[in-house]
A and B are shown apart, each in its own frame.
Chain A
Amino acid sequence: SQQGEEDPQALSIQEGENATMNCSYKTSINNLQWYRQNSGRGLVHLILIRSNEREKHSGRLRVTLDTSKKSSSLLITASRAADTASYFCATGGGSNYKLTFGKGTLLTVNP
């Protein structure tokens, strides 16, 4: 069963706007990750935030984590057409080696 649930399922914005996607999860985690998938391709890791971190930045990406609400958000600033992709959150936890993925948010950035 899916641990993470992304919201919204689909998001359409204009180039230059910011895009925000949210992820909620159910059980305790060690870290939460965001991945991008371009159509027909494999997933690419974007950013990892650990359970003791609240915010992390990487280029135009900003991720926040609220463990009390069991939620995370991914903000992409000044979006570009090339950011069009599906974005997945994945949670990792405990002593196992597994990530559990959500169903993804499809982001469309219109030029």
Chain B
Amino acid sequence: NAGVTQTPKFQVLKTGQSMTLQCAQDMNHNSMYWYRQDPGMGLRLIYYSASEGTTDKGEVPNGYNVSRLNKREFSLRLESAAPSQTSVYFCASSGEREGLGETQYFGPGTRLLVL
């Protein structure tokens, strides 16, 4: 039982390049989330998926797209990376009973540097 996994762990991009951050969970959770964490800013929600087949914008969605590929996987895509997207990205999931803003389980994070 790996919990929430994220790939890659670290990535360097040039401005304008695109990339997809992958996230998978093996806890059969309905809800999945993408956050970014910047120094002094705490965690800010980018997008979330309350259940398979649905996605919704969070607090800072501009410049990002998401895909809920199936119940296990939720990917985050940067179509044209900008230096302002340099951050640490965390994926999280929460379970059947816990879907309504309850306990979330986090992945280890992806550190992204955009030059």
Q: Which residues of A contact B (CB under 8 A)?
A: 1-2, 30-31, 33, 35, 40-45, 48, 88, 90, 92-104
Contacts and interface: CB of A to CB of B under 8 A. Distances in A.
Given A2-B42, A92-B100, 16 more contacts: A33-B102, A35-B106, A42-B4, A42-B108, A42-B109, A43-B92, A43-B104, A43-B106, A92-B101, A94-B101, A96-B101, A97-B48, A97-B94, A101-B35, A101-B42, A104-B42
Nearest to A92: B101
A100 B58 CA distance: 10
B46 to A, nearest CB: 11
Contacts of B4: 42
Given A41-B108, A42-B106, A97-B94, A30 B101 contact: yes
Contact of A33 (B33, B44, B103): B103
A31 B101 contact: yes
Nearest to B40: A103
B112 interface: no
B108 A45 contact: no
B105 interface: yes
Contacts of A98: 33, 45, 48, 58, 101
Interface string B85-115: 0000010101000011111111111000000
A2 B60 CA distance: 12
A42 B93 CA distance: 12
Contact of B50 (A40, A92, A97, A104): A97
